Structure 1
Amino acid sequence: MNKFYEIFRDLKQKIDQKEYPAGSLLPSELNLAQMYNVSRETIRKALNLLLESGYIQKQQGKGSIVLDIQRLQFPVSGLTSFKELQEGQQIDSQTIVIKNKTEKIPRYLAEQFHLPEDTDVVSLVRLRKISGEVIILDKDYLLHDIVDSVPTEAAEVSLYGYLEKECKLTIAYAKKEFVVEPITQEDQKYMNLKNDTHVVVVKSEVYLEDTRLFQYTESRHRLDRFKFVEFARRKHTLL
């Protein structure tokens, strides 16, 4: 067995057993190299396996932060904005902002993320119109202590473009859950649902490079207009 894979398995076990708890830093590459009596290049290979497996997030100038692996149980590759999707597939679309205000976080999200019920969020609701029909309803909640406001024009053009370029945030990764849910009165009011009784909902928790949660999104899609395609690569065991 390759030495870097042995180190990967040992570090993974220590994270699983909470010797390195979520939110803590792993020892530096130099310290790990001394601990395991190997080169720093060998340590980098082991850390890259931990990164690819969702156990750590590397932050420049800080090191390797241990992630809460229980919150990465629904991995879906890619963190792409609607603007990027639109440009990549040349979709004729329009985004309409129908809500943009600061308010208290919904109770179910406060409970889900263990936040105080008086936590302020920037609440955005946007309609995605494609070929003249509203077929997506996006509901975003951005933690106010990280994002204090979003200009409506920016929300219409590219939310992530604004957050990354103007707010200088480094968006790193997300946990996504795909579910099918019965339509709500809000869905009926704003979307062109025809005879649909259910919608596909993509629920996303989005995190910054420093592992802070900063956004929760529910993207509600009309069933007949979308298919979700996933690219999967088999990870071969190194023996």
Structure 2
Amino acid sequence: MKRKHILYRDVADKIKEDILSGKYPIGSFLPTETELEATFNVSKITVRKAIELLAADEYVEKRSGRGTTVLSNRPYNRLSKGTTFSQLLERTGKEYTKKNLEFTRVALAPEHPAYRLMGKEVMRLKRLYYFDHQPFIYYEYHLPIQLKGSSIDELEEKSLYRLLDEHRMVIDRFEDTFVGITLSTEQQKFMITPEVSALKRIRCSYDMQGEVVEYTEGIYNTALHPYMIEFEA
């Protein structure tokens, strides 16, 4: 008889432990749904919900007909005890989508903040998020030049952090800084907003050697929705 008291979160936590311990290395496949059902003595629905939870935290990626691949074994994914901004937006029931605008190799000016952190040449990704069909967040990611062989099409199929993992750039920690800014006329037109004030987030991500592997600036039109995160007590 199946043990009803085991919930999908319990199954997800056990699989996560196995990922972090190295039982399932990055790039490997998890056991099939049928095998996981037998291992945990639970239903297929419970297994699928557990995998969905791990995928939301970017530990794994599930593709139809190919199985479930391990993406990360880094502890920072354990921030799953907090509800991310994206997850809170999805709870509103309004559409929240992204559009990759450009992924190109650029030469930074010496006065650019990313110049001293990453050097002169970087790959820059421009991305726009829409909330309720309106421009909401504009990001400029500055990434290592080693990604120059990648394409914007790849970023339509996989997450940015998976792409970094595939190039052996595993993020160990990140730092976020938030400041209030005044939008320029050009920024107002681009974001299609009459708002003058916005929130700017600056993120620096570091690998295990302390090297910067991401410098990102994001502009949030918080008039559409305030920036917030939620943590469990």
TM-score by length of 2: 0.54
SS in 2 for 1:113: helix
> 1:63-111, CA deviations, whole angstroms, 9 ceiling, x for partnerless residues?
xxxxxxxxxxxxxx9879xxx7546753632211222110102432368
Q: Is the 8 A contact 1:79 1:174 kept in 2?
A: no
* Distance in 1 separating the partners of 2:155 and 2:98: 8
Aligned equivalent of 1:122? 123
Q: Is the 8 A contact 1:196 1:223 kept in 2?
A: no
- Mapped partners of 1:189, 1:120: distance in 2: 29
Gapped runs of 5+ residues in structure 1?
A: 1-76, 234-239
Q: Which residue does 1:184 correspond to in 2?
A: 184
Distance change in 2, residues 1:204/1:149 (3 Å): farther
- Give the aligned length: 149
Tell me the SS of whatever aligns to 2:111.
helix
SS in structure 2 at match of 1:148: helix
- Alpha-carbon distance, 1:136 to partner: 0.5
Kindly report which structure 2 residues correspond to 1:153-168, keeping only aligned pairs within 5 A, or say none. Answer: 153-156=153-156, 158-164=159-165, 166-168=166-168
Give the deviation of 1:129 after TM superposition. 1.1
Tell me how far apart the structure 2 counterparts of residues 155 and 96 of structure 1 sit (CA, whole Å). 10
Q: 1:123 to 1:109 in 2, by over 3 A?
A: same
Contact 1:140 1:218 (C-alpha < 8 Å) held by counterparts: yes
How much identity, in percent, do the aligned residues show?
A: 17
Report what 2:102 is aligned to: 99
What SS is found at the alignment partner of 1:169?
Answer: coil
RMSD, aligned α-carbons: 3.1
TM-score, normalised via structure 1 length:
0.53
Q: What is the distance in 2 between the residues matched to 1:160 and 1:196?
A: 32
Secondary structure of 2:173's aligned partner: strand
* Alignment CA distance shift 1:102-1:185 (3 Å): farther
Amino acid at match of 1:163: L
Letter of the 2:106 counterpart = E
- The offset of 1:150, in angstroms, is 3.7
Whole-angstrom CA distance in 1 between matches of 2:147 and 2:212: 12
Secondary structure at the aligned position of 2:155 is classed as: helix
SS in 1 for 2:153: helix
2:202 corresponds to which letter in structure 1?
A: K
Indicate the residue corresponding to 2:199 in structure 1.
200
Contact 2:171 2:213 in 1 (8 A): no
Question: Using the alignment, how far apart are the partners of 1:106 and 1:160 within structure 2?
Answer: 26
Q: Could you tell me which amino acid in structure 2 is paired with residue 217 of structure 1?
A: T
Partner of 1:216: 215
Structure 1 residues 202 and 155, CA, compared in 2 at 3 Å: closer, same or farther?
same
1:105-164 CA-partner distances (Å, limit 9, x unpaired): 243236862665xx21101111101221111001111121x4334421333452123222
Contiguous gaps of at least 5 residues in structure 2:
1-76
Query: What is the distance in 1 between the residues matched to 2:185 and 2:79?
Result: 29
